Structure 1
């Protein structure tokens, strides 16, 4: 500052210094621009994350398609023939009650497949025929059917369903070199992203029955979560702006956008055998400028940037905590205009949303 001007840029004598004023205006513009750029950087970072996730999902679909066409398809077709042959050869299908499914029954099945394998290895006349072990029953418990396969193998067929309608059938084959040795998984048609090998390490060597039950729950829960997402896309796809999910559907996020208010739903599942989420966050983000706050940017320059203040929709979180996703979605949409009117009564959000639903 020269000796002819004061701190405000005013010349001594009452006149303003135009050069000083220009410098001050530029400084203020730079501060505001920094704040806007900071907000834009946040938006670009979020958009980049979404783009990366979309690319990962596309690569997964391509990989799944290739696997289904090549080696996995060959395994599936071969196991399908093995299980169909066992079904044709079975003497009966035994329906088990919960208390009948136990370690003793599994031991009986193991003994049966090993005796059959030994008898065939020694020739048809090498061992006396035991009418009891000459039978070839299958055992059904819940969504599982256990078969005695050729070659001392035990086959488990998992039949999944959704809303009472059948979905995919998966297969898993267990084998042991002798009756006294532990069972191992030798082949299966379970999706590669589900932790079948981890379950084998955790359960199969110590408790084969627990392993079989866990895999059944794992598959059914995966199909249930996947079908819930498929159904809301089918029923409400025109209302959903964006939808992301993990391969196992234990992380689901989607957006409901009514132009003046964006509702974001984030669901996390405690484990892969859960069908209801454990961590839920539903937020309503106003887009209308009357519901925005001015905050100082992180660079400390004093500039202010417009930021939306979200409101948490507790009624929606309660619905998602106790209902299936399609049921909860219908409940959320039904009550959303009333709740938004209470939260944002001074904006035009509700009218816009109601007109869109019509």
Structure 2
């Protein structure tokens, strides 16, 4: 189209309002008497000839160009979407959320200091009965303070202030009939962020609800509350713990490959929850694209994996002269799936799988694309 546009712009007569059109049944290069016109050739026929030549020259090349352009367009759109997400994330974590975080941090720290002991629970000890006991304790304590300490009989059992640790969760009895859950995340054995969630109910018989938390806004805390908390508070607490730990694990895997192999990665995109990860690396004159999808937000290994190798053929750097040559170039530009890389990503963490992929990549690409030269990287 650029050829057509430049041609039309270079010849203003093509758009002149007074330009006569050829009559039906007559050669556009002859006048009414049948004699040959002198001067300028018929611009309409010239345009048709130009179109025919352009189509013949570009047929077959357009496919590769359109494919590249569509990929670049998709990457550009994805970059804009991710930029908007980052802006929204920054906006959502401004002063109001920071104030909530600081206030809850003080509440949990005060509860930790006031605790009489930390009770470690195994899988069987963490059950609905224990959660009911914790709920009873916080409501009894709230009633005692509301009615005054002297009007209530002394009960040493309810004067105790223990905390309960179950895996990466610590439950505290907070002031005002609230139950606080502290989620301690980690990666590769090293501690990461700590998140907080506070549950409250108006009475022991009423269902609990989330009143405050420091969980990232893009994680589905409201959906989890709707699905689990009204029917099974213990399941809600466990699910949120798994949700946070899986999110941190996926995020740290991406951070680690950027830290270790950033010079080999050309492009990297991910969603806010890191359940969609895509990156590109270039090696042996090939572009290798890795696309990972996770079945749900509590997964740390991807469920849908696609690794494609796109050969960057030297013919793209030279002109194509005939139909046969064009056909061969397009066929050689077809991608190939790297099944060994997909198997590694299916069973290993992302940094481990990446190391496995890069180690075997040169040999595999040479077997798949023997016509593609290696640059030795």
Asked if Structure 1 and Structure 2 have the same fold, meaning a TM-score greater than 0.5 normalized by the shorter chain, the answer is: yes
* Distance 1:154-1:16 versus aligned 2 partners, 3 A rule: closer
* Distance 1:261-1:84 versus aligned 2 partners, 3 A rule: same
TM-score by length of 1: 0.86
TM-superposition CA deviations, 1:246-271 (whole Å, max 9, x none): 11000000001126101000000000
* Distance 1:197-1:26 versus aligned 2 partners, 3 A rule: closer
Task: For residue 323 of structure 2, give the secondary structure of its aligned residue in structure 1.
Answer: coil
Q: Distance in 1 between matches of 2:217 and 2:33?
A: 70
* Alignment check: 8 A CA contact 2:183 2:194 kept: yes
* Distance 1:11-1:319 versus aligned 2 partners, 3 A rule: farther
Shift of 1:11: 17
Q: Distance in 1 between matches of 2:361 and 2:252?
A: 24
* Distance 1:91-1:309 versus aligned 2 partners, 3 A rule: same
* Alignment check: 8 A CA contact 1:295 1:306 kept: no
* Alignment check: 8 A CA contact 1:31 1:301 kept: no
CA RMSD of aligned residues (A): 5.4
Shift of 1:295: 14
Q: Greater shift after overlay, 319-328 or 24-33? A: 24-33
Q: Greater shift after overlay, 228-237 or 39-48? A: 39-48
Q: Distance in 2 between matches of 1:68 and 1:292?
A: 48
Q: Distance in 1 between matches of 2:349 and 2:179?
A: 35
Q: Distance in 1 between matches of 2:105 and 2:327?
A: 68
Shift of 1:285: 0.6
* Alignment check: 8 A CA contact 1:294 1:304 kept: no
Shift of 1:65: 2.7
Q: How many residues align?
A: 352
Task: For residue 267 of structure 1, give the secondary structure of its aligned residue in structure 2.
Answer: strand
Q: Distance in 1 between matches of 2:277 and 2:109?
A: 37
* Distance 1:329-1:98 versus aligned 2 partners, 3 A rule: same
Shift of 1:126: 1.5
Equivalent in the alignment of 2:253: 228
TM-score by length of 2: 0.82
Q: Distance in 1 between matches of 2:198 and 2:132?
A: 16
Equivalent in the alignment of 1:357: 376
* Alignment check: 8 A CA contact 1:10 1:16 kept: no
* Distance 1:294-1:199 versus aligned 2 partners, 3 A rule: farther
Shift of 1:33: 3.4
Larger radius of gyration: 2
* Alignment check: 8 A CA contact 1:229 1:325 kept: yes
Q: Distance in 2 between matches of 1:312 and 1:13?
A: 62
TM-superposition CA deviations, 1:133-171 (whole Å, max 9, x none): 110000000000000000000000000000000000000
* Alignment check: 8 A CA contact 2:311 2:332 kept: no
* Alignment check: 8 A CA contact 2:29 2:42 kept: no
* Alignment check: 8 A CA contact 2:311 2:372 kept: no
Shift of 1:3: 15
Equivalent in the alignment of 2:318: 293
* Alignment check: 8 A CA contact 2:266 2:281 kept: yes
* Distance 1:214-1:41 versus aligned 2 partners, 3 A rule: same
